[in-house]
Amino acid sequence: MMADFDHEQLDFLRERHVRFFQRCLHVLPERYAPYETTRLTIVFFALSGLDVLDALDVVDKPGLIEWIYSLQVLPTDDKSNLSRCGFRGSSHIGVPYSSSKGPGAPHTYDSGHVAMTYTGLACLVILGDDLSRVDKEACLAGLRALQLEDGSFYAVPEGSENDMRFVYCATCICFMLDDWSGMDCQRAIDYIRRSSSYDSGIGQGAGLESHGGSTFCAVASLCMMGKLQEVFSERELKRIRRWCIFRQQNGFHGRPNKPVDTCYSFWVGSTLQLLDVFQYTNFEKNRNYILSTQDRLVGGFAKWPDSHPDPLHTYFGICGLSLIGEAELRKVHPALNISMRAFESLRQLQGAWRQKST
């Protein structure tokens, strides 16, 4: 009996997770109401999750592409809002629905948000769109306006928190648009270097505690810039590897003495993969922990066993399993955080842009 039960816990319930993400795209429980302004990130978790599950055929791709384009903040006729361009998270501000390319209607409080621009572009790539309706110049101008003197980024032009998360979002945007004019890379690199902590992990900013999430954002950003080996010496890289390796308990935690949490199987796991030492972690313990947080009834993953599943932990749980080679899952690009399939199609698009411009 007991052996059967244990065995059952180790099944990866792919079909339930497909249905979990389908529900995320159609209707969300009331407790998600506060996340309305960042709805695009939830759509990203669901879409990229379905992609990794190799189940994108269940989504209405043209409908979603039109919806995402309707969230693009386009320049007005006089281009006075260029520094506010990018993608917004949802239609919460009441700007009229318009998915066509044309001047935006001015609205005092309308602007892009760096994480929405990143996830919006990623969703379009995942859906196989060619990004031809993205106003790249406006996105990059909006991005430049968000960078601070110290190299970090605000999320929105009015100002907000500024930390490593938004450095990562900005890097993903430049990487996907294949245009680094959206940021001062050297300043961003200096910010990353200053965020290295005494224990060799990396914090959200200078003087802050090392954290698995910010270490991922920093290392992945440097990889996308092609600067990892240049910015950190081999000795420093060894110490970062060591800090990350020690985050494994059974699953991974984000900081010393914190409980393990499903999402760090991706944040720390992919950092270790980028640093070429992921193979030295214990895959079996990692897999067992992630699967212990799987909801066997409604699908999805939670951060802890016996907790409610949510789109973020479901997505990163699945990505964590993909990193350790779970059957039936597509490989994930460890820095850009989309499937390798989507990454390859982005590369093809960029190749075509480069040919056009020469």
Tell me which residues touch Zn ion (CB under 5 A): 261, 263, 303
- State in angstroms the smallest separation of the CB of 263 from Zn ion: 3
Task: Using the minimum distance from each CB to Zn ion, give the nearer residue, 145 or 263.
Answer: 263
Task: Using the minimum distance from each CB to Zn ion, give the nearer residue, 263 or 346.
Answer: 263
φ, ψ for residue 202 (rounded to 5)?
A: -120, 135
Task: Using the minimum distance from each CB to Zn ion, give the nearer residue, 118 or 267.
Answer: 267
- State in angstroms the smallest separation of the CB of 187 from Zn ion: 29
CB 264 within 8 A of CB 247: yes
- Which residue, judged by CB position, is nearest to Zn ion in the bound state? 263
- State in angstroms the smallest separation of the CB of 20 from Zn ion: 17
Task: Using the minimum distance from each CB to Zn ion, give the nearer residue, 245 or 312.
Answer: 312
Task: Using the minimum distance from each CB to Zn ion, give the nearer residue, 39 or 211.
Answer: 211
* DSSP letter assigned to residue 37: G
Query: How far lies 322's CA from each of 59, 265, 314, 325, in Å?
Result: 21, 10, 12, 5
- State in angstroms the smallest separation of the CB of 268 from Zn ion: 11
- State in angstroms the smallest separation of the CB of 34 from Zn ion: 17
> Residue 238 burial by CB count (10 A; 0-12/13-18/19+): exposed, middle or buried?
middle
Task: Using the minimum distance from each CB to Zn ion, give the nearer residue, 81 or 262.
Answer: 262
Three-class DSSP category at 78: coil
Task: Using the minimum distance from each CB to Zn ion, give the nearer residue, 189 or 290.
Answer: 290
CB 156 within 8 A of CB 111: yes
- State in angstroms the smallest separation of the CB of 303 from Zn ion: 4
Task: Using the minimum distance from each CB to Zn ion, give the nearer residue, 169 or 174.
Answer: 169
**Assigned token pair, 138:** 């406006």
Report which residue type is found at 302. A
Alpha helices, DSSP H only, in the chain? Answer: 2-9, 14-26, 39-52, 61-69, 114-126, 136-144, 164-177, 185-194, 212-225, 228-231, 234-245, 264-274, 283-292, 311-323, 340-357
- State in angstroms the smallest separation of the CB of 267 from Zn ion: 8
Distance CA 180, CA 170 (A): 10
Q: What is the dihedral of CA 350, 213, 216, 185, to 10 degrees?
A: 60
CB 132 within 8 A of CB 62: no
- State in angstroms the smallest separation of the CB of 260 from Zn ion: 10
Task: Using the minimum distance from each CB to Zn ion, give the nearer residue, 89 or 254.
Answer: 254
Q: At a CB cut-off of 8 Å and minimum separation 6, what does 327 contact?
A: 12
- State in angstroms the smallest separation of the CB of 169 from Zn ion: 18
CB 166 within 8 A of CB 112: no
